[in-house]
Amino acid sequence: MNKRVCLSLLFSILALLGYSQQVTGGDESMPVMSSHDTIDYAKLCAHYKIWAVRDASADEKKYRTHEMILQIGEKVSKFCDYLCFQNDSATFSEMKSGLNKMVIFANQMSRARIAKRYYYEQVFKNFPEGNNTVLDNIVIKTYKYNEEMPNMNWTIVSENTDTILGYVCGKATCEFRGRTYTAWYAPDIPVDDGPWKFHGLPGLILKVREMAKDYYWLCTALYQPTWKSPISIKTEVKKTTYIKYHKAKKRAEEDPNALHANDPNAKIRTSNGEWVLASELNKGKYRPPYTPKELDW
């Protein structure tokens, strides 16, 4: 116990030392936040809730839910996790205010507690022009792939089926990369956009239901920002391709031990203080199958 207290004290003092160094003009190159580029400004924002299946093979499907934001700009739109968006926005404003980088870094670390709840996938539509850019984290790195904006062959079922957030919605269905979707769009919002990669309907898509009930998106809020709301993209990313991305993602989700394949003797210290072979750590532990939205890779 005492040892633990001593160590904590030591770290606190070290942290303070580090802080005081920074004040006197220490390491200016310390990375506070990966660099971002502003590529557009949002003229319309829509919040969505996504229900993503945890284990598609289970008898009773359980879902994790995330609050997402769709920023629609003049040219580009971005669909990402709202918590992540807020975190980035907070860091932006801190950087703009000229706050000490060490403080910004500390704030970022405190906010990082919630980062484990992020839905990391980010979809940029029409960026670059005519293309989609998708960013996602695999283990600790952010990967990016580009693809041509896919053509979604929607079949309009009816023009007045439901009311979502007070908007009369039309209903359409389409098959997209191995899954069947039903979407509800609002003709009164003349924007060809929607959650994730969905687009191509004569109105903003407010709700999408996937037939196998693995995914579900529902718009929960809609507003036109009266402030400057930048649409930014992380630049320090590793480029990959659509197929490679899915393969790597599947590997990371279904067998995290495969990551240690290069070093079979790598050891990890557990919470009990024991050193165990990294490859043994999660052996035998059930991991749900990778259930991507796209099945055509």
Which x/- pattern over 96-135 shows residues binding other proteins (rule: CB under 8 A)? ------------------------------x--xx-----
DSSP assignment, residue 288? P
**Which member of 28, 29, 59, 98 binds other proteins (CB under 8 A)?**
59
CB 222 within 8 A of CB 45: yes
Candidates 30-38, 196-204, 261-269, 276-284; binding stretch for other proteins (CB under 8 A): 196-204
Please return the burial class of 4, using the count of CB atoms within 10 Å of its CB with bins 0-12, 13-18 and 19+. Answer: exposed
- Kindly state the smallest distance separating residue 146's Cβ from other proteins, in Å: 16
Burial 236-263 (b: 16+ CB within 10 A, else e): ebeebebeebbebbbbebeeebebbeee
Question: Which one, 109 or 221, has the nearer CB to other proteins?
Answer: 221
CB 33 within 8 A of CB 93: no
Please return the burial class of 22, using the count of CB atoms within 10 Å of its CB with bins 0-12, 13-18 and 19+. Answer: middle
73 is a site residue for other proteins (CB under 8 A): no
208 is a site residue for other proteins (CB under 8 A): no
Taking residue 72's Cβ as centre, other Cβ atoms within 10 Å add up to: 24
150 is a site residue for other proteins (CB under 8 A): no
Candidates 5-13, 26-34, 43-51, 102-110; binding stretch for other proteins (CB under 8 A): 43-51
Binding site for other proteins (CB under 8 A): 43-44, 47, 59-60, 62-63, 65, 75, 126, 129-130, 156, 159, 165-167, 170, 189-192, 200, 202-203, 220-224
